[in-house]
Amino acid sequence: MLLIGALVFVIVAVIGIVLALLFVSMVILLISGGIISASVLVGLQQKSVSKGFKAFLLSVSIVGSTIVSVVFFLFINTVAEWKQLNGSILGGVAFGIGSGWVLGLVMFAAAKKLVLFLKSKYNHKMIN
């Protein structure tokens, strides 16, 4: 009887883990689709590929930086007992949005300079 109970527990645990992974992957896919479609719509509405790419980089960096910042602030809160849980989450979100915005602008400027550099390099090679 104990063996059957352990087997049922393992099966239910595996099913729970699979369902949780499916849920997380669905959320990731929906967020990714939303970021990509919003960037395409910005590019089409502004009639500029550059503005669509900038919207994409800003969105990705803000979402990614917010997730990393919240996890980091929760870790700091656990180690140092810094603030209440809600305060550390809100601090992580605020810091993530701000740092993600700056990171996205820096990445866009770097990508723009890289494209201009490669364009001038390959145009120079095509002429010669």
pLDDT digits (tens, 9 = 90+) for 104-117: 999 999 999 998 89
Residue in the block written with tokens 């992957």: 25
- pLDDT level of residue 121 (50, 70, 90 thresholds): confident
Handedness of CA 64, 67, 72, 73 (dihedral sign): positive
Contact 93, 64 (CB under 8 A): no
**Does residue 128 have a pLDDT over 70?**
no
Reference 38, options 26, 22, 55, 18; nearest CA is: 55
Give the separation between CA 71 and CA 92, rounded to whole angstroms. 8
* Predicted TM-score of the model (pTM): 0.76
Reference 87, options 76, 97, 98, 102; nearest CA is: 76
The confidence score (pLDDT) of residue 2 equals 79
- pLDDT level of residue 85 (50, 70, 90 thresholds): confident
